[in-house]
Amino acid sequence: MTHEQIFNQIQGGLIVSCQALEHEPLYTKEGGVMPLMAKAAAELRAYVSDFTFSAPRMDIYSNLDGNVLDCADLPAHLEQHMISPVRWTQLVRNGMAAGLTTACEIGPGKTLTGFAGKISKELACKPVQDMAGVQAAAE
């Protein structure tokens, strides 16, 4: 499929940071690359289907729907996570409604930390980029 054919299939509005085509941003209605990620998402689900996942020791909010993560079927959740819009605003609001006052963005960058600050000035969100940062944030 050519670049033009892909862009003709995906119409929309938002530029996303994930680039499925070499050096070209994708534009989609939903603000993500969902149509192009369906095959990879299904492959991820199949790959992790035999993994053993431990239950979290605290509530983890999912940006799939903004609610506390239901760990009953994590492979299915991960598949849907890859092909669904991020519900970050709902996640932050639900967490704060449940009493959340501090959060960590685990991974490279500070994008979600910045978004959290725009959603609420009362939520202290810290970017954490490595295990040392995770340990420091937990203290």
Q: Are 111 and 129 in contact (CB under 8 A)?
A: no
Helix (H) or strand (E) holding 71: none
Percent of the chain scoring above 90 in pLDDT: 15
Query: Over the stretch 102-138, which tens digit does the pLDDT of each residue have?
Result: 888 888 888 888 888 888 899 888 888 888 887 887 7
Token duo for residue 46:
């199949």
Whether residue 52 has pLDDT greater than 70: yes
Kindly give, in sequence order, each residue whose CB lies less than 8 Å from that of residue 3, ignoring residues fewer than 6 positions away: 21, 24
Q: How far is CA 14 from CA 10, 30, 85, in A?
A: 11, 8, 12
pTM above 0.85, yes or no: no
Check residue 10 and give its pLDDT.
43
